[in-house]
Amino acid sequence: MIPALMPTYNRADLAFERGEGAWLYATDGRRFLDFGSGISTASLGHGHQQLADAIAEQAHKVMHVSNLYRIPQAERLAQRLVDASFADSVFFCNSGAEANEGMVKMIRRAAYETGHAERYRVITFEGAFHGRTLAMLAATGNEKYLKGFGPVVDGFDQVPFNNLNAVRNAIGPQTAGIVVEALQGEGGIREGSVDFLRGLRAACDEFDLLLGMDEVQCGMGRTGKLFGFEWAGIEPDVAAKVFEPFYRADKSRARQSGGAGLGLAIVAAIVEAHGGSVRLDTQPGAGAAFTVRLPLASATTQPSPTGTAGGLADSRYGR
């Protein structure tokens, strides 16, 4: 008989009742060092005081206010992210898959708004993981994940990772953009080479495409820079992170919306808690420079110049 909690993941028979920094304590009393950090999610570690306080404080005030009203926390956080990154505007949402969906919508809308409604296709890469919505399963292109969910959403052309010739061959009159991870997480911690990532940027500039970076797994300091793509010295047009696709507005005019009180208080607390460990130096004429120190309490790996991300999933999680 099917369990009440739908068995969509291949869960280990282990439950945790609390965590402290990089440590997790199981219901059976065992203690585990959490190298997974919730599949690259608990970037401040477990039981972070400032984060827990912010959640409790906001939950007592107001948890949800809809998108019909201003959300000061969202405005504050968006401004902070814009000040600290390539982006001009930020769209908040609830998951990595949704962030990537938003990114693909922005890419398509940009083509539409610039008189190219025929351009809707997005190039993605073998070994990618972009999420589990119907469209992001198609973008991910993994047969195993797609099985039984057909028809596959149209509009994604998959080519081998780190192969610029394959990318350039795949660009056609209907291509609107490219979506790529700087470092493939679920695909096995495979780095996009600097030449490859720079080549993608150049191809996008040459063919007037938008470059979207899926930073869901390696973003926010996990590679030792705020974003994985910074190792290649490039900037995308759009980037997706767990809680937001960042959006550079000079190419596209996609409409922005989204946000809720509690979630944004949490995110604001995370960013502010990083305030102690992420230094932002604005340099006149050169944008912002970041000095990132991952919190010691975090279970992610130490920053590495080769861009190795910490806390990555493996097949045990059935992802």
Ligand X SMILES: Cc1ncc(COP(=O)(O)O)c(C=O)c1O
Binding site for ligand X (CB under 6 A): 39, 95-97, 100, 129-131, 181, 185-186, 214, 216-217, 242
Residue number, 128 or 176, with CB nearest to ligand X: 128
Nearest distance, CB of residue 317 and ligand X, angstroms: 9
Nearest distance, CB of residue 46 and ligand X, angstroms: 18
Nearest distance, CB of residue 221 and ligand X, angstroms: 15
Strand partners, 175: 121
Distances (CA, A) of 98 to 73, 95, 244: 20, 5, 9
Q: Give the burial class of 285: count Cβ atoms within 10 A of its Cβ; 0-12 exposed, 13-18 middle, 19 or more buried.
A: exposed
For 191, the enclosing helix (H) or strand (E) is: strand 190-191
Residue number, 157 or 181, with CB nearest to ligand X: 181
Pairing mode, strands 183-184 and 190-191: antiparallel
Alpha carbon distance 177, 240 (integer Å)? 14
Residue number, 120 or 129, with CB nearest to ligand X: 129
In this chain, which residue has its C-beta nearest to ligand X? Answer: 96
Pairing mode, strands 156-159 and 175-180: unpaired
Q: Which long-range contacts (CB under 8 A, 24 or more apart) does 186-191 make?
A: 186/128, 186/129, 186/217, 186/312, 186/313, 186/319, 187/126, 187/127, 187/128, 187/129, 187/161, 188/127, 189/308, 189/309, 189/312, 190/127, 190/161, 190/162, 191/306, 191/307, 191/308
Residue number, 71 or 239, with CB nearest to ligand X: 239
Residue number, 96 or 102, with CB nearest to ligand X: 96
Residue number, 131 or 261, with CB nearest to ligand X: 131
For 274, the enclosing helix (H) or strand (E) is: helix 261-274
Nearest distance, CB of residue 316 and ligand X, angstroms: 14
Nearest distance, CB of residue 220 and ligand X, angstroms: 12
Residue number, 39 or 280, with CB nearest to ligand X: 39
Are the C-beta atoms of 99 and 245 separated by less than 8 Å?
A: yes
Alpha carbon distance 204, 211 (integer Å)? 6
Residue number, 22 or 242, with CB nearest to ligand X: 242
Residue number, 186 or 191, with CB nearest to ligand X: 186
Nearest distance, CB of residue 57 and ligand X, angstroms: 25
Nearest distance, CB of residue 236 and ligand X, angstroms: 14
Nearest distance, CB of residue 217 and ligand X, angstroms: 4
Nearest distance, CB of residue 61 and ligand X, angstroms: 26
Region of 216 please: left (phi>0), alpha (psi -120 to 50) or beta: alpha
Amino acid at 269: A
Angle 268-181-144 from CA coordinates, rounded to 5°: 110
